[in-house]
Structure 1
C-alpha cells in the first residue's frame, strides 16, 4: 500500500531528528597557553556514536616502522591552522608552524569473550577502523597524547581514557593501567601499561639534552614516506600533506629518504634493523640526545662501526651489561649487550628505559638476526 502524505512527512521528520543527534564537532581548538583538562577541549578526536572520530582538517598518518609500546596500536593525527604549513626537512622532524596539534591515541584490539582488560597481542590493524576513526566495539582506548606547537615551543599533554571510553582527562603525573595481552594461541601475559608523566615525555622527545625542548619524534620524512588509505583513496602521506596544504618544499619523491618497514620480509635485513634502531633508540642515542655520553649512536645514517656499537665497550659496567664486553659482537648476539637489554623488562637493565613493560619478541628476534649476520669479530679487552 502506498504511503500517505502524512506518513511520508513522519518518516522524513524522524530521519531528520535521528540525523540531528550526531552533530559535527566544533572546530579544532588550539590552546596557546594553559593545560586543558579534557581531551575533548581540543576537538581533535572525539567519541560519537561508538566511534573515535577525527575532526575536519585532522589528517591521520602512520610510520614505516613505529616505536614499540607494549604492542599497543596507535592512531596518529596532524592538524594545522588554516593557511599554515610545515616545511620539508630531509633529516630532522618536519618544521611545523605555531598552532600545530599532533595527537597519538594508544589503544588495543579487544580480545573476544574477554574482560575489559583483556587485549590482543597482534600486528593486525584490519578490524580497528571505522572510516578514518576507530570502532570502539572492537578496541580498548588507553591514552591520547597531544603535542601542541606553542610560541615558545612544543608542549606535551598526556590524556587517559575512562573505563566508559567516552572521555580522556589530563594526567600530568602519569598513570598505570593493568592489562593482559592475549596471543593468537590463547597464551596470556599480564603487564602494567604505564602512561608517562610530563617530565618523562620530555626525556624522550628532547632532541637536544642541553635545551631539553620537546619535539615530535615520528613525523620525519623518512618515517612517513609511505602510502596511506585515506577516505578519498590511497596516496603517499607526504604528497597528501602537500595536497591538503600542510606541507611545503617537498622535493621530487625519488630524492626523499625512506625507512624500511621493520617486519617486511622482502626488505633487506640490514635496512629493517637500522629502521628499528632509528625509531626505537635514535631519539636518545645520538650526539645531542639523553644518551649522548654513551658514545652509541643509533640514528639514521650512522656508520656501521664503533659509533653504532660494533665492538664498542660500554661506558659503564653494571647490571645493564649482563657481563658482556661489547655493545655488538659481530655474529654473536648472545655475547652482545644490546639484545641482552632488549630482552629484559627489568628497570635498570632494559632498553629503552621508558615506554614499555614487556619485551618486543619480534623486534628482539630482528636485532638478533641482524647481529648474527654481521661479519668480523672483536678483539678481547685485557
Structure 2
C-alpha cells in the first residue's frame, strides 16, 4: 500500500469517526400538557422541561422561580418552574402569609435536583451559576441530573410524582418506590465526601407536603409570596418574581410587590442574625414543626409565625427521651449551642437522631453554624 493510499485511508477513518460522534440534532420540543388523570411514564410527555441537544429547556409559558431561602437537600441545586393553563391564575391572599399562593386546578409545579459536575465523576458542593445555566434552562454538559418532582393540581387535589433521570442524562422516567443514588461530593474544603442521595417514595412526599396533620392533604410548600418576593435573573433581565408572575397572567390580587411581605435570605449578612436563623428554620423545619403540622406533638414550633419563646424551643424540655436528645436537657439553651438539642440534631447524620429526618443524608455545615451562632448570641439561661 502506497503512503498516499495509507494517508487517504487514515483521513477517511478520522472523518468517519467525527461523523459518528457528532452531536445529535435537538429533538422537536413537546408543548406543555396537563394530565388530569394520567401519569405519563416519561417526564418529556409533560413538556414542562425537556432535553434538547445538550440543554435542558423550558416549555412555552413555563416560568422559572427561586426561593429567598431554599430547603437544604444534600447541597443539590434546584431548578423550579410553574406552569398554568391559558387563562388560569393564582390568587394572592394577604391574610395568609404562611400559605403558598392559591394555585388553580391545572397548575403544574416542577423541581429538578441536580449538581454541577467536577473531576472524576464528583459533584460539587457549590455551583457556578454562569457555567450551569443555558438561558433559563441548564447546560447538560456541566451538570448531573438526579430527579425531577412534580406537583399537579388535579380536580380532586394535589398529586405528587417523581421522575428519575437515567445515567445518559437523556430522559427521566416515573419512579414511585424511591431510590438510593451513591454520589461523591467535592467539598469546598478540598475533601471528598461519599454519601447516598435518597430519592423519596410516594409516602415520603406526603410526609412533608401534608403540612396539616388533621387533613393530611398535600399542597405546595415553597411558593409563598414572602419567599417569592425577590428578583430573579431571567433570560431577558432581572425582575421581581411576583411582578413577573403578574405580567405573565399567572398571579392576580397583587398590584405592587412592595405590598407583600418579603423574608430575608439566610445568607444575607446585612440582615440580623436572628432573622437569618429564623428564616432558615422556617423553611427547613417549619412545615412540620408548627401547631398544625406532623410534628405538632413535639410542642416545638419553628415556623415564622411563632415568636422566640418557649414554643420555639428556648429552655423547652423535649417531650420524649432517647437518642434524639443526645442526653441534653433543652431544645435551645441561650448562649450555648453545644448544649442545645436543636443544634445536636441538625448536625447529626444518624437516621435515629437527625432533623430533618428525611430529605438529606449529609449535614448542612453552614446552616448548622448559622443556627449555632444565633443560639450562642442569646442572653439568659435555663436554670
Do Structure 1 and Structure 2 share a fold, with TM-score over 0.5?
Answer: yes
Instruction: Give structure 1 stretches of 5+ with no counterpart.
Output: 1-19
Could you tell me how far 1:21 is from its partner in structure 2?
4.7
What is the SS of the residue equivalent to 1:169? strand
Preserved contact between residue 89 and residue 220 of structure 1 (Cα < 8 Å): no
Asked if structure 2 preserves the Cα contact closer than 8 Å seen for 1:88 and 1:250, the reply is: yes
Q: TM-score scaled by structure 1?
A: 0.91
Distance (Å, rounded) in 1 between the aligned partners of 2:380 and 2:25:
67
1:364 aligns with 2:371: no
Tell me if the contact between 2:116 and 2:127 (Cα under 8 Å) persists in the aligned partners: no
* Whole-Å separation in 1 of the counterparts to 2:131 and 2:297: 43
Give the Cα–Cα distance (whole angstroms) in 1 for the partners of residues 41 and 282 of structure 2.
33
Partner of residue 218 from structure 2, selected from 210, 214, 218? 214
| 244-253 vs 334-343, greater mean Cα deviation | 244-253
The counterpart of 1:187, out of the listed 173, 182, 191, is 191
Measure the CA separation in 2 of the matches of 1:352 and 1:184: 23
Q: Structure 1 residue 371: deviation in Å? A: 0.3
Instruction: State the number of aligned residues.
Output: 358
1:262 alignment partner in structure 2:
266
Aligned residue runs from structure 1 range 43-62, under 5 A: 43-62=47-66
Cα distance in structure 1, aligned partners of 2:324 and 2:317? 12
1:66-215 matches, within 5 Å, as 66-90=70-94, 91=97, 92-111=99-118, 113-115=119-121, 118-122=122-126, 124-215=128-219
CA contact (8 A) 1:72 1:106 kept: yes
| Structure 2: gaps (5+ residues) | 1-23
Q: Residue 126 of structure 1 aligns to a residue in which SS? A: helix
The equivalent residue for 1:15 is none
Aligned to 2:334: 330
In the alignment, the residues of structure 2 paired with residue 55 and residue 254 of structure 1 have an alpha-carbon distance, to the nearest angstrom, of 30
Give how far 1:105 is off. 0.3
Q: Which runs of 4+ in 1 moved over 3 A?
A: 20-24
State the match for 1:13 in structure 2: none
Q: Quick one: distance in 2 between partners of 1:333 and 1:251?
A: 43
Aligned residue for 1:190, secondary structure, equals: strand
**Per-residue Cα deviation, 1:305-346 (whole angstroms, up to 9, x for no partner):** 001011110011110000111110110101100000001011
In 2, the alpha carbon distance for the partners of 1:57 and 1:167 equals 21
Question: Per-residue deviation at 1:170?
Answer: 1.0
- Aligned-partner Cα distance in 1 for 2:205–2:192: 29
* Equivalent in 300, 306, 309 of residue 305 of structure 1: 309
RMSD between aligned residues: 1.4
Q: For residues 45-97 of structure 1, what are the alpha-carbon distances to aligned partners after superposition, in whole Å with 9 as ceiling and x for unaligned? A: 00111011000100000011100000000000000000000001331110000
Looking at structure 2, the residues matched to 331 and 124 of structure 1 have their Cα atoms a distance apart, in angstroms, of 36
Deviations 1:230-271 (A, max 9, x none): 122110000100000000001533331111111122221111
Compute the TM-score of the two structures, normalised by the length of structure 2. Answer: 0.91
Contact 1:172 1:198 in 2 (8 A): yes
Structure 2 distance, partners of 1:123, 1:325, is 39
Query: For the residues of structure 2 that align with 1:337 and 1:214, how far apart are their CA atoms?
Result: 29
Q: Distance in 1 between matches of 2:33 and 2:259?
A: 36
